[in-house]
Amino acid sequence: DIQMTQSPPSLSASLGETVSIECRASEDIYSNLAWYQQKSGKSPQLLIYYASSLQDGVPSRFSGSGSGTQYSLKISGMQPEDEGVYYCLQGSKYPRTFGGGTKLELK
Amino acid sequence: QVQLKESGPGLVQPSQTLSLTCTVSGLSLTSNSVSWIRQPPGKGLEWMGVIWSNGGTDYNSAIKSRLSISRDTSKSQVFLKMNSLQTEDTAMYFCARNVPGDPFDYWGQGVMVTVSS
């Protein structure tokens, strides 16, 4: 199975601050990487797919980059509604595997 | 619009079988695939398995021996059955649309299942 290592496990950011979350795959996943945001008690919401494509309706302050085994999610200007847990998901092979999550809080 | 909704018992006794239903609307199961994903309280997400649009299935090897996914296309329903439940199977269970080659884009709200005597 492909292992997804996500960092950091938690993060605190001030309003307007730029935030980055990293995800490393145990093998090349050829940009088949998605990012999700999950708010408390809700299902995950798709933010980014194919490493850098923005899902319809997602604010442009969210962006993704990376290739091979290294990927990142950037939030350019933290907003209160961005609080939640963020997960990466590899879509290269089955079983699909998720990163361990990054809890993002507003400082 | 596309909607998925999970239903099932909130409490299951240890060693018993869990049965969940995912009812979909706004999409056809003969042209869409559906995955089950679970999340223990306070923990991360685990992909469990998928039923493909052609009716074939694939399962996570970690739970394959206990898991079965099926469907009734006429009722737009996907079923999950998992036997020999233990306390560590306590989790929120989600169904999600699984487009081959794409990430899970539509998710249900989830159903919480507690395994306890």
CB-based contact (8 Å) between A99 and chain B?
Answer: yes
Cβ-defined contact of A89 to B61 (cutoff 8 Å) = no
Cβ-defined contact of B103 to A42 (cutoff 8 Å) = no
**A-chain residues within 8 Å CB-CB of B101?**
32, 91
Q: Which amino acid is at B15?
A: S
Best of B94, B104, B109 to mutate (most A CBs within 10 Å, chain A): B104
| Average pLDDT value for residue range B44-72 | 96
- Tell how strand B104-107 and strand B77-82 pair up: unpaired
| Average pLDDT value for residue range A13-27 | 98
Nearest CA in chain A to B35: A96
Please check whether residue B6 is in contact with residue B68, taking contact to mean a CB–CB distance below 8 angstroms.
no
CB-based contact (8 Å) between A42 and chain B?
Answer: yes
pLDDT at B102 exceeding the cut of 90: no
First to last CA, chain A: 36
pLDDT by residue (tens digit) across A55-73? 999 999 999 999 999 999 9
Cα angle B68-B70-B76, degrees, rounded to a multiple of 5: 150
The predicted structure's pLDDT at residue A65? 98
pLDDT at A92 exceeding the cut of 80: yes
Best of A96, A97, A98 to mutate (most B CBs within 10 Å, chain B): A96
Cβ-defined contact of A94 to B58 (cutoff 8 Å) = yes
C-alpha–C-alpha distance, residues B24 and B5, integer Å: 6
How many percent of chain B have pLDDT more than 90?
95
pLDDT at A30 exceeding the cut of 90: yes
pLDDT at B47 exceeding the cut of 90: yes
pLDDT by residue (tens digit) across B9-19? 999 999 999 99
Chain A: nearest CA to B65, how far in angstroms?
15
The predicted structure's pLDDT at residue A4? 98
Handedness of CA B78, B82, B83, B88 (dihedral sign): negative
pLDDT bracket for residue B65 (50, 70, 90): very high
Please check whether residue A46 is in contact with residue A34, taking contact to mean a CB–CB distance below 8 angstroms.
yes
